[in-house]
Amino acid sequence: MAHLTSQVCIVTGGSRGIGRAICLELAAHGATVVACARDGAKLADVAREARERELPGVIEPCVLDINDGAAIDTVVSEVAEKHGRIDVLVNNAGITRDGLMASMEDEAFDAVINANLRAAFQLSRAVTKHMMRARRGRIINIASVAGVMGNPGQCNYAASKAGLIGMTKSIAKELARRNITCNAVAPGFIETDMTDVLPDKVKEGVLPLIPMRRFGRSEEIATVVSFLAGEGASYINGQVLVVDGGLYM
């Protein structure tokens, strides 16, 4: 059960949805999890849940806006200093600013690229120096089937996730010799705040396309991330694990 004991993991977007489930799953396997997001109260709530469930690991709340590159470097340095190691980075935080391409403002495009792609680059760069020194590490990027298939109304989001997949493969090739792997998980439709806001018409239109005929749960992504973080995934590198009930195949 506790295959991540003594591992130090940084998870972005740990306050809600998939990130919250990832933090709890990693803590359930004994990890010390630095859960980052902007909403400190929600992060404290996740940490409380870990304590109440008496999970073997610990969740440490960390208020961080991933649009602040300097803050990213500070957080990573502080984690490395406090714990002496960073074993796993999960780039999970992400946003949508949906709209049709023909009428999308530059600002909506840039905001999504910066949060979903640039921040993942900056975080990966920041942890890499610590992982290289240790000659071990795992970087796990939460992409999306939108980055593989495209999705109308999401040209910015799909571009950010396709970019994340390309970055994953490049990092995987750059760092493999240092025993650092980099993989992506591409969820399909998962029940979270992000999909809650979709109009019923859109949700009803998607369901028949999913062979399993249901949206996924955050925990069904978290278990995959936990697997990729553990020893059992030691020879998996540069892959995109699609977790979508069969939507894309």
Which residues here bind ligand NDP, judged by CB under 6 A?
12-13, 15-19, 37-39, 42, 64-67, 92-95, 115, 142, 144, 187, 189-190, 192-195
- Which residues, listed in sequence order, are joined to residue 61 by a DSSP beta bridge? 35
How many Cβ atoms from other residues are within 10 Å of residue 74's Cβ? 13
Task: Give whichever of 118 and 178 is closer to ligand NDP, judged by the CB atom.
Answer: 118
Exposed / middle / buried, residue 180 (Cβ in 10 Å: 0-12, 13-18, 19+): buried
Task: Give whichever of 94 and 137 is closer to ligand NDP, judged by the CB atom.
Answer: 94
- Least Å from the CB of residue 182 to ligand NDP: 16
- Least Å from the CB of residue 192 to ligand NDP: 3
Q: Which residues contact 201 (CB under 8 A, 6 or more apart)?
A: none
Question: 235 an active-site residue?
Answer: no
Task: Give whichever of 108 and 132 is closer to ligand NDP, judged by the CB atom.
Answer: 108
Q: Which residues contact 58 (CB under 8 A, 6 or more apart)?
A: 27, 32, 33, 47, 50
- Least Å from the CB of residue 178 to ligand NDP: 26
Report, in angstroms and rounded to the nearest whole number, the Rg of the chain calculated over CA atoms: 17
- Which of 22, 91, 157, 165 is catalytic? The answer is 157
Q: Which residues contact 6 (CB under 8 A, 6 or more apart)?
A: 30, 32
- Least Å from the CB of residue 134 to ligand NDP: 26
- Comparing CA positions, the residue from 147, 187, 167 lying closest to residue 238 is 167
Task: Give whichever of 37 and 140 is closer to ligand NDP, judged by the CB atom.
Answer: 37
Catalytic residue annotation: 157
